[in-house]
């Protein structure tokens, strides 16, 4: 951590704080909501926007430090955006089947 | 200014650790099996975010590779568990 210019520090710190708060809200929602069909929604907040903000902050720092665009960290965000719905669909189908085949009203 | 980035990193690490704790509680308590798979999903996302923050703080490129591997294998694990809960078999003949 040397020689990061001052104008980049503020947005990076803001993005890190936003990512931490969003992921914490998602995890608390996973703990606090009542039924499984409600709990399904909470962690996706951290899975999409939390990871995206963190990756954006990391990309900004690496780009400024190396003096060239460093974009490979977006692979994580891209991969999670592609794969999170697959797990969600499989889990929801399995939950519906185990609740006796009826859809939640 | 460096202090701001330092404290933002500490705050983010604290948030992710608390999220990890919440998900671990749900993993132990969860009434159904689907809850546990969902909590496992949240656990690996939080661990991956902790690794990203550490990589930003230590200026080390190796943490990114570890985070990418965690994302890949976490998806494989939770998808296999969800498929098992859905069908009773992971790879059907």
- State both tokens at A80: 């999670």
ipTM confidence score? 0.88
pLDDT value for B36: 92
pLDDT value for B86: 87
In a domain, A21, yes or no: yes
In a domain, A104, yes or no: no
B50 at the A interface (CB within 8 A)? Answer: no
Q: Which domain holds residue B78?
A: 2-87
What is the pTM assigned to this prediction?
A: 0.89
In a domain, B56, yes or no: yes
In a domain, B55, yes or no: yes
In a domain, B48, yes or no: yes
Mean pLDDT of A52-74: 90
In a domain, B40, yes or no: yes
Tell me how far CA of residue A37 lies from CA of A22, A56, A64, A72, in angstroms.
20, 31, 43, 35
Count: domains in chain B: 1
How confident is the prediction for chain A on average, in pLDDT? 87
Choice between A16 and A99, residue whose per-residue pLDDT is larger: A16
Kindly tell me if the per-residue pLDDT of A96 is higher than 60. yes
* A44 closest CA partner among A16, A83, A90: A83
In a domain, A51, yes or no: yes
In a domain, B31, yes or no: yes
Reported as a single tens digit per residue, the pLDDT across B37-47 is 999 999 999 99
Q: Which domain holds residue A51?
A: 6-98
Reported as a single tens digit per residue, the pLDDT across A12-37 is 999 999 999 999 999 999 999 888 88
- State both tokens at A16: 């890190």
Nearest to A13 among B8, B71, B79 (CB): B8
Own/partner long-range contacts of A96-105 (Cβ < 8 Å, ≥24 apart) = A97/B86, A98/B32, A98/B33, A98/B34, A98/B85, A104/A35, A104/A37
User: Does B34 sit within 8 Å of A36, measured CB to CB?
Assistant: yes
Give the whole-angstrom CA distance, residue A78 versus residue B63.
18
Give the whole-angstrom CA distance, residue A61 versus residue B57.
10
Count: domains in chain A: 1
* pLDDT band at residue A103 using 50, 70 and 90 as cut-offs: low
| A104: Cβ contacts below 8 Å, ≥ 6 apart | A35, A37, A96
Q: Could you tell me if A50 and A23 are in contact, meaning their C-beta atoms sit under 8 angstroms apart?
A: yes
In a domain, B92, yes or no: no
In a domain, A10, yes or no: yes
Q: Which of A3, A43, A83 to mutate to test the interface with B (most CBs of B within 10 A)?
A: A43
In a domain, A103, yes or no: no
Cβ atoms < 10 Å from Cβ of B18: 16
pLDDT value for B54: 93
How confident is the prediction for chain B on average, in pLDDT? 90
Greatest CA separation for chain B: 59
Size of interface A-B (CB pairs under 8 A): 159
In a domain, A83, yes or no: yes
Q: Provide the percentage of residues in chain B whose pLDDT is more than 90.
A: 69
In a domain, A30, yes or no: yes
* pLDDT band at residue A102 using 50, 70 and 90 as cut-offs: low
B76 at the A interface (CB within 8 A)? Answer: no
In a domain, A25, yes or no: yes
């Amino acid at each position: 951590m040397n020689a990061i210019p001052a104008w980049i520090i503020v947005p990076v710190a803001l993005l890190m704080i936003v990512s931490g708060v969003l992921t914490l809200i998602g995890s608390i929602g996973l703990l606090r909501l009542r039924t499984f069909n409600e709990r399904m929604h909470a962690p996706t907040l951290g899975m999409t926007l939390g990871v995206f903000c963190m990756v954006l902050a990391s990309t900004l720092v690496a780009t400024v430090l190396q003096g060239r665009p460093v974009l490979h960290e977006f692979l994580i965000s891209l991969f999670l955006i592609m794969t999170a719905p697959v797990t969600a669909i499989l889990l929801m189908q399995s939950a519906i089947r185990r609740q006796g085949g009826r859809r939640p009203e | 200014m460096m202090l701001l980035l330092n404290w933002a990193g500490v705050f983010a690490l604290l948030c992710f650790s608390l999220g990890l704790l919440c998900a671990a509680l749900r993993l132990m308590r969860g009434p159904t099996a689907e809850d546990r798979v969902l909590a496992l999903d949240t656990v690996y996302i939080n661990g991956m975010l902790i690794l990203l923050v550490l990589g930003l703080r230590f200026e080390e490129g190796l943490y990114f590779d570890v985070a990418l591997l965690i994302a890949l294998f976490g998806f494989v694990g939770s998808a296999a568990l969800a498929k098992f809960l859905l069908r009773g078999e992971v790879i059907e003949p």
